[in-house]
Amino acid sequence: MSLIRLNLSGKIGIVDIGWRGRSQKALEEMLPDLGINIDIVGFYLGIMLNRENAVGYIYDQKDPREKVTIRAFEGVLEMFFSASHGSVKRYKSSQGVELYDFEYSTSENLRNDFNDLQKIREGAFCFINRFHENPLSNIIKWNREIAFNAMRHLGIDPYWTDLNRLGDMSFYTNKTISPLAKPSCDVYFSLSKLKKKYILISLESGLSETFI
């Protein structure tokens, strides 16, 4: 493992999207048996752990107000922050890592979806850099509520343009790939029902992980 090879000690911070802190918990249980004394602090977008060494930017046990909100569209957030490689299958004794096949590499449509995700991420980094370089960045009051507001709107009250752009994108959960929120091709179309489906699919993807 990298931690053994790097010979780390003392306080170490790990950064992850959340939500249940499984990786942090596994490390805390495993490392003492390997003779590694590390004080781990986890930094997450949201975290359910009731612990002093796990901090959530949007919500945690000290301030859980946004917990239900995020649960409604965990799938959307996880899609935005998904890795550019397959999930970790196991760690080898040779300090190598065995990965599952990358879900977005199995077809042209999936590859196109991942390319679109990459563009979204590049746009986000571009915005951050431009905002940082703008003189007004030192004047504008910025907090987590303001930072999260646009994402909250996308997740629980999306515009039609958001649904049109993202609803047909592929999302991987429970070893299956399906559209994030694809409406039925009926003559009569209900925008409110589509929004509800969009939120329910994201919620189901989050709830399924809770019981795995």
Tens-digit pLDDT profile for residues 106-165: 778 888 888 888 998 999 899 989 988 998 888 888 788 888 888 888 888 888 888 877
What per-residue confidence (pLDDT) applies to 12?
Answer: 86
Give residue 192's pLDDT.
65
CA proximity to 78, closest of 17, 139, 145, 151: 17
Neighbours of 107 (CB within 10 A): 12
Higher pLDDT, 113 or 92: 113
Residue 43 has pLDDT above 90, yes or no: yes
pLDDT at 184 over 60: no
φ, ψ for residue 132, nearest 5 deg? -65, -35
The arithmetic mean of pLDDT across residues 89-110, rounded, is 76
For the residues 23-46, what does the mean pLDDT come to?
Answer: 86
Q: CB of 202 within 8 A of CB of 79? A: no
C-alpha torsion sign, points 39, 44, 47, 52 = positive
Q: Is the pLDDT of residue 212 over 50?
A: no
pLDDT tier for residue 187 given thresholds of 50, 70 and 90: very low
Q: Determine the average pLDDT of the residues in 178-197.
A: 59
CA–CA gap between residue 53 and residue 131 (Å, rounded): 31
